[in-house]
Structure 1
Amino acid sequence: MISQNTIQTVFETARVEEVIGDFVHLKRAGSNLKGLSPFADEKSPSFMVSPVKQIWKDFSSGKGGNVVTFLMEHEHFTYPEAIRYLAKKYNIEIEETEQSLEETELANEKESMYLVSEFASKYFQNVLLNTEEGKAIGLSYFKERGFTTETIKKFHLGYSPDVWDAFTSEALGKGYKLEFLDKTGLTIVKEEKQFDRFKGRVMFPIQSMSGRVLGFGGRILTNDKKAAKYLNSPESEIYHKSKILYGIYHAKQAIAKQNNCYLVEGYTDVIQFHQTGIENVVASSGTALTSEQINLVKRLTPNMTVLFDGDAAGLRASIRGIDLILEAGMNVRVCAFPDGEDPDSFAKKTPHDELVSYLENNAKDFIQFKASLLMDEAKNDPIKKADLIRDMVVSISKISDKIKREVYIQECSRIMDISEDVLFNTLAQLDKKEIQDANKKFKQEQKEKTFEVIRNETTTRLLSAEEISALLERKIIEVLILYGNKDVEFEETYLRVNEDGEEENFTEKRTLKVFEKIYMNLQEDEIEFSNPIFKNLVNQILNVYLQKGDFEKNEFLNQLDQTSEQIVIDILMNENKYELDGWLEKKQVFVKSKDDEEVLKALISETLISYREYLIQNLTKELVEGLKDENQETSLQDVMQLINDYNKLKVSISTSIGRIRTDFFK
């Protein structure tokens, strides 16, 4: 088990903006940083990071937290895994304490699968580099491809022995369970036997964006026509091939830095480019490009350059992914290599500077690329030419930006020698059809929702007493967290009897810290929160203020359970929500800062008064309900006197802010 001292050092050292910056492309937004949500498919940024508060908030999914919770949410790490990842990133030595048997057994299924995959990666590389068979077959193959030992180690390339159960026997001997060898697909389990899936293949580990081994690709080296040339790990709890790009772990920093990503097809294409010095490259690993894969890149850069083999048939088959990239709101360029060349072979024989120059000079926007690719086929055939133009317009229709659309229409008009009006009309027809389809889908969804409402007999209702209480209690917690240590001059209003024996309001000014004001009010009225989570949280916050006189948010967050932590994160980040797209400036809304003492005083007074009014009304309501109880022990006269006293108190409270407030209950 990781020592508490190590955990504390990790939290003190790790920077949330640096860690998240490895996964999400962040841009400055005032004192914060913003980016596209890594948890949702979106085109406008709703993800915010606060370097000052060392927290993050995703307004799209509602998730938020500190640097550790981000890794747990995004990479599905356990808490210890996240701590170990950060310790490794910041070169922090991990102190271990003895782990109990019970804690060891609590390791979940996913973690076991990750551990098995990590072991397999190390095993395959060890076989490649340190056994006779591995050197003679696997290492020789990689050397023939031109890969250096440094490159082989960087990508953890390996070799699986040409023996039916070599890996399986080794893993079982090391204590790994057959159950997880089976679930990762490393071992094929039959009723009477089990054997290695990747027997006799060179191995390409497939890593997540954080470097975790998710699965493998294995290439056979014999001429066995019955066996697949490439074999991938099967889908599992940790490996979904449509959601990962080969090489993303090694490419992410370069992609963000270069503000562009090269997309290729195969493992060796990626590796050869890296070895040449171009690292912002990933591969779809032979699968059709998916929106999930595109979104991985989109979080790092809005620009993608698709690299294709010179093979014409392969080009036509691959350009279908271009529309998906455009639909995601990305800028896409396309670069093809000479006939007979692919990214691997071309990079292998081309020096770095020449390769960079080739890519820059031959990358075309998708309109030019489609025209150059398909015009030879169309030639003088008007039908084929019309189909080509329509295909181009369909691609343009995927672009949401109106200015870009118009520019591409103009370019298409110039290249294809056709009027812009015709192209705009065609585009309008496509848009109209898309709108009609969307409306049809919307109406169907609304119809289904209507039926659902009828089925559930759902009606509009007033908030329950519990819901009102929770809202007000949360507001008090928010005030404590955001402004608890500020000094504010409050006007305290008391009810007293004057010399003539008449009741009158007496006002006294007093400067208090906000937490002192709230603490005194809660103690004065002997108030305990009704929501158990909020009750525990407000007590923790007040204890920190009372003991230390200050409130260190980051330190406090680290002590909370997951539910309480999420509440605090939401409060801390909610004020920054509108910085995401400059909403306030666009709407020309200029909000008076709560740092202004008068505004802050009004906020606190309103919050406390609302809560006291709610309690009074709730007590009054309970007394009125109690009158209906035949077994009521309190006399009617006493109950009516209490109700009268509560109503007077309510009027007094309301008068203190100059107005009578609307009842919560009708």
Structure 2
Amino acid sequence: MISQSSIDQVFETARVEEVIGDFVNLKKAGSNFKGLSPFSDERTPSFMVSPVKQIWKDFSTGKGGNVVAFLMEHEHFTYPEAIKYLAKKYNVEIEETQQSNEQKEAANERESLYLVNEFANEYFQKILHKTDQGKSIGLSYFKERGFTDETIKKFNLGYSLDDWQAFTDEALKKGYSIDYLEKTGLTIVKPDKHFDRFKGRVMFPIKSMSGRVLGFGGRILINDKKAAKYLNSPESDIYHKSKVLYGIYNAKQSIAKEDNCYLVEGYTDVIQFHQTGIKNVVSSSGTALTSEQIRLINRLTKNITVLFDGDAAGMRASLRGIDLILEQGMNVKVCSFPEGEDPDSFAKQNTLQELTLYLEENAKDFIQFKAGVLHEDSKDVPIKKAETVRDIVNSISKIPDRIKKEIYIQECARIMDISEEVLFSTLAQINKKDFQEQNKQFTKQQKAFEVIKHQQPVKKVDVQYVLERKIIEILLLYGNRVEDFEDLVLKENDKGDLILEPIIQQAKVFEKIYLDLQDDEMQFSNEQFKNLYYTIIDVLNQNPEFDLKMFINSVSQETANEITTILMEDERYSLDNWNRMNIYPKEKLNTVSQLVSETILSLRCFLIDQKVKEYQQETLHNKNDVNKNILEEVKDYSGLKMLLSRKLNRVL
């Protein structure tokens, strides 16, 4: 268990915008930051981070909370793991008691898989550096590749002994379950035996964006035609190769800083580039590029430079991934190396300055590169040239931005020596075909929607819920502020009519709200708001120095999520950039007393309406015996509502 003092120190030190900035490319939006949601596929930012309140909100999925809640949602950390991650990031020493065997066994399955992978990662490194076989075979291989000791340790490179059961036996000896060893793919289990999947291979741990070991890649070092040269961990609950990029953990900060990501094919390409000094580089780990991998990069930058070998086959294979990148609305450049070279070998033979200069001079816009490669194959053959042009226009059709499309059409016309009119006509044909396909899909979805729409009645706005929610928001934001309030005292004038006489009184916001609700004997109808209301009032009473950040950290995750939703509700409108259109919303801070008064008055009006409706129902059920007292009550309530409405400047 982690001590409370350590947890408090972590919360005091951690900055939500810095932590989330490691995973999402955040841009300033007034006093907040905004970015693309890391929990959904979107092109318009709906993710907000508030440095002042130290909270975040994802309006596309409804998720939100503090810095720990983000790590638990995004990285699937447990609460203690999130605290440990933050402690490590901010160099905070934490006090922790030793876990018992029972506590270890109680860890959920996902966590058990992570623990097994972490053990394997440490084990393979130990074998590489501490055993004769590891040094003579594994370490020698890495040294031959030109990797320094610092680089080998930075990427946690390791070695699996050329022994059928060495790793598995050691893991079982340490108390790890064979079930989890099998589920991570580290051990292959047969009815009568079990053995190591990565026997006799150098090991490359594959990490998540936060640094957790998801799986491994292993390279065999002997010539065995029956064995694959590279072997990856199989799919598991924590490892999905289509959603992972090798090197993203080491590259994420550089990608965001440089606003560009180099995409290569293999593990050693990433490591060699990193060692040379170019750190914003990742690899698809030998798999075909996927939309999920592109979106992972899209959180950090809009710019991708695809790097690949100089051979023609490799170029054509990489061209297929370009359309996927374009579909995500990203900017693509392509750079190939001289024939016979790959990113690994080229980086090894050149200095940082030489490598940087080569990339700058040879990275071409995708349209120039694609036209060059395909044109080389089809020159002097009219039919092939026509196919090439259609192929290029098809790629251009994937681009969401219309201005970019037109510019690329013009560029294609220039390179391929063909009229723009023909290319625009071809683009229109492709777009029409795509539109028809999308229209079919839309029609199907609409039919499904119609069924749902007829089944579900339109939900009415719950006025009391909205007002109770607003009271909670006011207490959280301004509870301790001292304000001048204009109270209304009900009096009878000389003519015997009821009037509201204003009196100015000074009070704290939370005291004003509490006394008003108590005087009118108003109760919260929403149970969650009711509990939250009394908790906030109690904290404000006991602690004059109310700290919103610490309060959010002290409540349950469910309550924290609700608080975040309430506090960030107004922030979502800053996503629309109203200031660009010279529309400046009025700041609440200048009208807190008015906001409090209007909210309480509105709640009173609503409750009066509810009371009048109750009396109406009562008279409808007893038509022959209408109570005169009820009619008098209704008259009084109607008069009171008229007065309150005048104060609210509403027309009845």
Map 1:166-205 onto structure 2 (within 5 A).
166-205=166-205
Q: Is the 8 A contact 2:186 2:233 kept in 1?
A: yes
Cα distance in 2, alignment partners of residues 417 and 336 from structure 1: 24
Shift of 1:232: 0.8
- CA deviations over 1:87-108 (Å, ceiling 9, x no partner): 1111111101355666544321
The DSSP-based 3-state class of the residue aligned with 2:505 is: strand
TM-score between both structures, scaled by the size of structure 1: 0.93
Match of 1:124 in 2: 124
Shift of 1:227: 1.6
Counting aligned pairs with the same residue, the percent is: 63
The DSSP-based 3-state class of the residue aligned with 1:418 is: coil
- Specify the code of the residue in structure 2 equivalent to 1:132: D
Shift of 1:488: 3.5
- Specify the code of the residue in structure 2 equivalent to 1:576: E
The DSSP-based 3-state class of the residue aligned with 1:537 is: helix
Map 1:326-405 onto structure 2 (within 5 A).
326-405=326-405
Distance 1:503 1:419, change over 3 A: closer
Distance 1:91 1:501, change over 3 A: same
- CA deviations over 1:311-355 (Å, ceiling 9, x no partner): 101211121101111111111110111111111122222222211
Match of 1:595 in 2: 589
2:508 is the alignment partner of 1:539? no
Match of 1:411 in 2: 411
Match of 2:598 in 1: 606
2:59 is the alignment partner of 1:65? no
Q: Is the 8 A contact 1:207 1:246 kept in 2?
A: yes
Cα distance in 2, alignment partners of residues 151 and 652 from structure 1: 76
Cα distance in 1, alignment partners of residues 495 and 522 from structure 2: 33
Cα distance in 1, alignment partners of residues 263 and 70 from structure 2: 27
Given the alignment, which residue of 630, 644, 647 partners 1:656? 647
Q: Is the 8 A contact 2:220 2:229 kept in 1?
A: yes
Moved more, 563-572 or 587-596: 587-596
The DSSP-based 3-state class of the residue aligned with 1:37 is: coil
Match of 1:617 in 2: 609
Q: Is the 8 A contact 1:544 1:550 kept in 2?
A: no
Given the alignment, which residue of 558, 563, 573 partners 2:568? 573
Match of 2:514 in 1: 519
Cα distance in 1, alignment partners of residues 352 and 135 from structure 2: 29
Match of 1:491 in 2: 486
Match of 1:298 in 2: 298
Cα distance in 1, alignment partners of residues 371 and 150 from structure 2: 42
Shift of 1:225: 1.5
Shift of 1:601: 3.9
Distance 1:206 1:402, change over 3 A: same
- Specify the code of the residue in structure 1 equivalent to 2:597: S
- CA deviations over 1:516-539 (Å, ceiling 9, x no partner): 221111111122212111001111
Q: Is the 8 A contact 2:329 2:399 kept in 1?
A: yes
The DSSP-based 3-state class of the residue aligned with 2:334 is: strand
Moved more, 354-363 or 608-617: 608-617
The DSSP-based 3-state class of the residue aligned with 2:490 is: strand
Say what the alpha-carbon RMSD is for the aligned residues: 2.2
Cα distance in 2, alignment partners of residues 605 and 109 from structure 1: 52
Shift of 1:640: 5.0
Cα distance in 2, alignment partners of residues 629 and 193 from structure 1: 80
Moved more, 472-481 or 498-507: 498-507
Cα distance in 1, alignment partners of residues 567 and 102 from structure 2: 36
Shift of 1:429: 2.1
Match of 2:149 in 1: 149
- CA deviations over 1:423-449 (Å, ceiling 9, x no partner): 122222222222222222212211121
Shift of 1:376: 1.9
Cα distance in 2, alignment partners of residues 220 and 46 from structure 1: 45
The DSSP-based 3-state class of the residue aligned with 1:490 is: strand
Map 1:466-481 onto structure 2 (within 5 A).
467-481=462-476
Cα distance in 2, alignment partners of residues 89 and 460 from structure 1: 48
Q: Is the 8 A contact 1:242 1:290 kept in 2?
A: yes
Distance 1:175 1:527, change over 3 A: same
Cα distance in 2, alignment partners of residues 252 and 287 from structure 1: 20
Distance 1:486 1:335, change over 3 A: same
Distance 1:460 1:150, change over 3 A: closer
- Specify the code of the residue in structure 2 equivalent to 1:13: T
The DSSP-based 3-state class of the residue aligned with 2:568 is: helix
The DSSP-based 3-state class of the residue aligned with 2:554 is: coil
Map 1:75-90 onto structure 2 (within 5 A).
75-90=75-90
- Specify the code of the residue in structure 1 equivalent to 2:298: K
Distance 1:98 1:648, change over 3 A: farther
Q: Runs of 5+ in structure 1 lacking a partner?
A: 662-666
Distance 1:351 1:656, change over 3 A: closer
Cα distance in 2, alignment partners of residues 593 and 419 from structure 1: 55
Distance 1:126 1:565, change over 3 A: same
Cα distance in 2, alignment partners of residues 481 and 440 from structure 1: 48
Q: Is the 8 A contact 1:45 1:581 kept in 2?
A: no
2:546 is the alignment partner of 1:551? yes
Shift of 1:185: 1.0
Map 1:3-22 onto structure 2 (within 5 A).
3-22=3-22
Match of 1:664 in 2: none
- CA deviations over 1:457-511 (Å, ceiling 9, x no partner): x233545xxx433222111112222333344433322223457766444332223
Cα distance in 1, alignment partners of residues 32 and 21 from structure 2: 13
Cα distance in 1, alignment partners of residues 25 and 439 from structure 2: 34
- Specify the code of the residue in structure 1 equivalent to 2:413: S
Q: Is the 8 A contact 2:310 2:337 kept in 1?
A: yes
Shift of 1:154: 1.2
- Specify the code of the residue in structure 2 equivalent to 1:296: L
Moved more, 152-161 or 428-437: 428-437
Match of 1:459 in 2: 457
TM-score between both structures, scaled by the size of structure 2: 0.95
Cα distance in 2, alignment partners of residues 508 and 100 from structure 1: 64
Q: Is the 8 A contact 2:619 2:626 kept in 1?
A: no
- Specify the code of the residue in structure 1 equivalent to 2:251: A
